[in-house]
């Protein structure tokens, strides 16, 4: 069975014109539906609370789907499925970090943040501190994390759209070469995300994320069912087929092919590789609850109990989804095969769409394969759109609320002014992201996602937790914590093989690397924490009354921001 | 709705969350009130040990994936080796802790938090 399926996959790997036509129709439907949502939401967005927090009127299920939609980027859908397809177990290891991280958000952050903040992460960080410096730091950190994450998504989007359209090098489709299609993809995604955020605000963005999460879960579930049914719902048989087809044998089902690789005869490098794996695990687990676009989702519900329930929904959805990717990855390894996957995309990003095509062809011939491929491609497209929109609203809200209103206008700006600035900021961020992504499209920027998690883990999470739980914490501590974590995470990556000194580096032809591992969190999280503690203790400032207030508010929900009543 | 609220924003008004009609002094006094201390004790008693537990459990998993590969490759059931079982167990514990926390909150935290809120709101109404 395995051999005939692989033969089938090889035959249908090239994207047919049927599939492209269906893909374009489905892409257009996704765009039309999301724009309709945006227009609908824009009519219902009046106040700053509507714009930044969607009026705080979403229920737990809606926000749970929106969180899942915001979090499960194209990188985690196509990237993890591809990683499992190529490296087996290690792709699964990655997704476990992404899931366990939600316990930090659930137990330590979601409810307390909802109760004590208003629109942004900066609200909680600055509550006890001198407003202007801390809010500036919060805005710097928010925008840095969001832009890095955004850039990785946008560059990926360009490549992905050209991949999903199946344009081979040297070939053109609708007059576009693969390179032109990438740029068109980046510009279209940039324009759409700016429109969603500027017009739809948080309401529009949230609904786009909900629709995407439903599409993603349905599409993935369908593909999982079809894949498993080929194996008579025997997952063990699928795994052995995958291990055999991968050419790695049993090693495919064990850790070590991608992370913590053991280099024969080089114990030092082996140790660094293993520390890199631990560092990555740390960034994933501690970073999630410090990502600004995730944090602001907790403000879109009426109260902290709903925030808790929405995190539970998110955990259920995200956990189920990562179990799906395990089937999809092993399925692609077994049915599509290593060679066909790397031929389409060396990083394996096309594995899930390729699996859709092969499975569809198995059940209903080439046309069904083409339709299923187009379906999964449009799910991936919706995935890109909703994640980038979440990142844009996080950074434009922070620029407008933390920087413009609180720092520049000292809190005197009206709602109307603040929302106007947020919309302009969304346009500015969209433009910057498009220009950077077009220039960076030839570069290997996948590391930016891990870097965004590392900054969130080193700069944001420690300061949020210390603000909520440490009585002595003060302005200098918060500033040292944020800037110390941010600078050490970015700095260590700058001097790592990611940027220079290796074949896959960002800059080739120069070598100024001395930090041996790609993921900085193992060092930058302790550095950020120590900076926050030392900064606090070297400053005399302490405001016990403010500490008492944030704790009473955060724990009990007294005086918390209410839902807007329209 | 936020726009209609304060006619005259307090110093750094938009910068600090709205007061929700509570006086600062009442809120500060509540910090040492037995009702709040009970809430805080119940919350801390759950979230800190549990966070430590799942972090250690996850770290053990990552450390074993990095350094105990021979052990992780031990077959457990058919195609399932220890690494896969351990990975799936991380899912199980994550779901389990979320369920446990939700039922703990419903029983112990939500009523205690409601007591604190009610006490503060009554005080605000009296003034």
| DSSP-derived pairing of the beta strands A172-173 and A176-177 | antiparallel
Question: For A302-322, how does the pLDDT look when each residue is reduced to its tens digit (9 = 90+)?
Answer: 999 999 999 999 999 999 999
Cβ atoms of B73 and A254 closer than 8 Å: yes
B11 falls in which pLDDT band (50, 70, 90)? very low
Question: For B12-49, how does the pLDDT look when each residue is reduced to its tens digit (9 = 90+)?
Answer: 333 344 566 788 999 999 999 999 999 999 999 999 99
Beta bridge partners of A173: A176
Q: Which of A48, A107, A316 minimises the CB distance to B101?
A: A107
Question: For B79-125, how does the pLDDT look when each residue is reduced to its tens digit (9 = 90+)?
Answer: 789 999 999 999 999 999 999 999 999 999 999 999 999 999 988 88
What CA–CA distance (Å, rounded) separates A440 from A430?
Answer: 15
CA A344-A227-A20 angle, to 5 degrees, is 40
pLDDT on residue A322: 94
What is the mean predicted confidence (pLDDT) over A270-292?
Answer: 94
Beta bridge partners of A176: A173
What CA–CA distance (Å, rounded) separates A29 from A381?
Answer: 11
Question: For A134-144, how does the pLDDT look when each residue is reduced to its tens digit (9 = 90+)?
Answer: 999 999 999 99
Q: Which residue has the higher pLDDT, A436 or A178?
A: A436
What CA–CA distance (Å, rounded) separates A564 from A154?
Answer: 33
Tell me if A406 and B15 make a contact (CB, 8 A cut-off): yes
**Does the structure show a pLDDT above 90 at A474?**
yes
Question: Smallest Cα–Cα separation from A399: which of A417, A426, A379?
Answer: A426
Mean of pLDDT over chain A: 90
Q: E strands within A250-317?
A: none
What CA–CA distance (Å, rounded) separates A327 from A235?
Answer: 8
Q: Which of A137-141, A433-437, B23-27, B71-75 has the highest mean pLDDT?
A: A137-141
A60 falls in which pLDDT band (50, 70, 90)? very high
Name the 3-class secondary structure at A177. strand
Between A and B, how many residue pairs show a Cβ–Cβ distance under 8 A? Answer: 208
Q: Report how far apart, in Å, the C-alpha atoms of A518 and of each of A156, A349, A492, A525, A551 are.
A: 19, 21, 8, 14, 38
Residues of B in contact with A556 (CB under 8 A): 30, 36, 39, 113, 116-117, 120
What is the mean predicted confidence (pLDDT) over A333-348?
Answer: 88
What CA–CA distance (Å, rounded) separates A161 from A15?
Answer: 13
B42 in A contact zone (CB under 8 Å):
no
Residues of A in contact with B1 (CB under 8 A): 47, 49, 564-566
Mutate to test the interface with A, among B7, B77, B79 (most CBs of A within 10 A): B79
Q: ipTM of the assembly?
A: 0.91
Other Cβ atoms less than 10 A from the Cβ of A365: the count is: 12
b/e string for A266-282 if b means 16 or more Cβ within 10 A? eeeebbbbbbbbbbbbb
pLDDT on residue A15: 60
What is the mean predicted confidence (pLDDT) over A43-53?
Answer: 91
Residue with token string 């974590």:
A485
pLDDT on residue A348: 85
Supply the DSSP symbol for B108.
I
B17: tokens are: 């969350």
Beta bridge partners of B80: B77
Question: For A495-516, how does the pLDDT look when each residue is reduced to its tens digit (9 = 90+)?
Answer: 998 888 887 788 888 889 899 9
Supply the DSSP symbol for A48.
H
Among A151-160, A264-273, B50-59, name the one with the lowest average pLDDT. A151-160
What CA–CA distance (Å, rounded) separates A421 from A48?
Answer: 11
b/e string for A505-541 if b means 16 or more Cβ within 10 A? bbeeeeeebebbbbbbbbbbbebbbbbbbebbeeeee
Name the 3-class secondary structure at B88. helix
For the entire predicted model, the pTM comes to: 0.92
Taking the mean position of all CA atoms in its chain, how far away is CA A88?
Answer: 22
CA A51-A57-A63 angle, to 5 degrees, is 90
pLDDT on residue A200: 93
Q: Residue A226 contacts by C-beta under 8 Å, 6 or more apart in sequence?
A: A359, A360, A363
**Does the structure show a pLDDT above 50 at A117?**
yes
Residues of A in contact with B81 (CB under 8 A): 250, 253-254
Question: Class of A9-444 per CATH?
Answer: mainly alpha
Q: What is the percentage of chain A residues whose pLDDT exceeds 90?
A: 66
Tell me if B98 and A315 make a contact (CB, 8 A cut-off): yes
B19 in A contact zone (CB under 8 Å):
yes
A292: tokens are: 């600004």
Question: For A220-263, how does the pLDDT look when each residue is reduced to its tens digit (9 = 90+)?
Answer: 999 999 999 999 999 999 999 999 898 888 889 989 888 888 88
End-to-end CA distance of chain A: 60
Tell me if B90 and A254 make a contact (CB, 8 A cut-off): no
Question: Smallest Cα–Cα separation from A165: which of A151, A178, A153, A154?
Answer: A178
H or E segment and range at residue A172: strand A172-173
Residue with token string 């044998």:
A249
What CA–CA distance (Å, rounded) separates A138 from A482?
Answer: 8
CA distance A63 to chain B (A): 17
Beta bridge partners of A343: none
Question: For A373-400, how does the pLDDT look when each residue is reduced to its tens digit (9 = 90+)?
Answer: 888 888 888 888 999 999 999 999 999 9
């Amino acid at each position: 069975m395995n051999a005939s399926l692989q033969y089938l996959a090889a035959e249908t790997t090239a994207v047919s014109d049927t599939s492209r036509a269906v893909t374009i129709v489905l892409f257009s439907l996704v765009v039309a539906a999301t724009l309709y949502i945006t227009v609908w939401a824009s009519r219902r967005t009046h106040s700053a609370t509507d714009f930044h927090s969607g009026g705080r009127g979403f229920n737990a299920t809606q926000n749970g789907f929106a969180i899942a939609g915001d979090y499960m980027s194209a990188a985690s859908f196509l990237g993890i499925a591809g990683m499992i397809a190529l490296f087996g177990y290690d792709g699964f290891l990655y997704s476990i970090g992404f899931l366990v991280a939600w316990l930090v958000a659930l137990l330590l952050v979601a409810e307390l943040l909802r109760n004590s903040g208003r629109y942004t992460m900066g609200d909680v960080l600055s509550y006890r501190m001198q407003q202007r410096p801390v809010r500036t730091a919060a805005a710097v950190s928010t925008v840095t994390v969001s832009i890095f994450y955004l850039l990785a998504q946008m560059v990926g989007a360009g490549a992905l759209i050209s991949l999903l359209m199946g344009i081979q090098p040297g070939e053109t489709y609708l007059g576009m070469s693969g390179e032109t299609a990438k740029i068109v993809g980046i510009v279209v995604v940039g324009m759409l995300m700016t429109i969603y955020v500027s017009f739809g605000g948080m309401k529009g963005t949230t609904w786009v994320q909900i629709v995407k999460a439903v599409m993603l879960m349905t599409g993935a579930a369908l593909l999982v069912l079809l894949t498993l049914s080929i194996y008579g719902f025997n997952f063990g048989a699928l795994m052995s087929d995958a291990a055999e087809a991968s050419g790695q044998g049993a090693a495919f089902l064990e850790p070590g092919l991608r992370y913590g690789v053991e280099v024969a005869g080089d114990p030092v490098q082996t140790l660094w590789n293993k520390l890199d794996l631990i560092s990555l695990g740390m960034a994933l687990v501690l970073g999630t609850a410090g990502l600004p676009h995730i944090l602001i989702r907790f403000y879109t519900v009426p109260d902290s109990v709903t925030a808790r329930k929405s995190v539970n929904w998110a955990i259920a959805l995200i956990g189920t989804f990562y179990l799906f990717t395990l089937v999809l990855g092993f399925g692609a390894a077994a049915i599509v095969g290593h060679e066909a996957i790397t031929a389409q995309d060396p990083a394996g990003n096309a594995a899930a769409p390729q699996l859709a095509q092969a499975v569809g062809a198995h059940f209903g011939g080439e046309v069904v394969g083409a339709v299923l491929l187009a379906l999964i491609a449009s799910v991936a497209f919706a995935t890109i759109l909703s994640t980038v929109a979440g990142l844009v609203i996080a950074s434009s809200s922070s620029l407008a609320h933390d920087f413009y209103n609180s720092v520049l206008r000292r809190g005197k700006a009206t709602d109307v002014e603040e929302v106007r600035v947020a919309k302009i900021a969304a346009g500015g961020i969209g433009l910057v992201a498009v220009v950077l992504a077009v220039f960076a499209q030839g570069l290997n920027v996948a590391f930016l996602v891990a870097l965004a998690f590392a900054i969130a883990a080193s700069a944001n999470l420690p300061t949020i937790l210390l603000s909520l739980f440490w009585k002595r914490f003060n302005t200098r501590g918060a500033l040292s914590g944020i800037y110390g974590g941010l600078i050490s995470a970015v700095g260590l990556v700058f001097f790592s093989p990611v940027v220079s000194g290796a074949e896959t580096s960002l800059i080739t032809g120069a070598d100024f690397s001395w930090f041996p591992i790609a993921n900085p969190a193992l060092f930058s999280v302790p550095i950020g924490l120590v900076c926050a503690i030392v900064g606090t203790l070297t400053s005399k400032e302490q405001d016990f009354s403010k500490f008492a207030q944030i704790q009473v508010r955060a724990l009990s929900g007294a005086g918390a921001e209410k839902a807007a009543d329209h | 709705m936020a726009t209609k609220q304060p006619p005259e924003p307090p110093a750094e008004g938009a910068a600090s969350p709205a007061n929700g009609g509570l006086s600062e002094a009442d809120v500060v006094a509540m910090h040492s009130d037995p009702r709040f201390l009970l809430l805080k004790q119940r919350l801390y008693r759950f979230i800190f040990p549990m966070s430590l537990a799942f972090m250690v459990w996850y770290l053990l998993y990552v450390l074993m994936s990095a350094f105990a590969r021979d052990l992780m490759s031990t077959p457990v059931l058919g195609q399932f080796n220890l690494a896969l079982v351990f990975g799936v167990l991380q899912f199980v514990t994550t779901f389990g802790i979320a369920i446990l926390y939700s039922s703990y909150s419903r029983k112990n935290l939500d009523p205690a938090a409601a007591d604190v809120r009610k006490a503060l709101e009554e005080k605000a109404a009296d003034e």
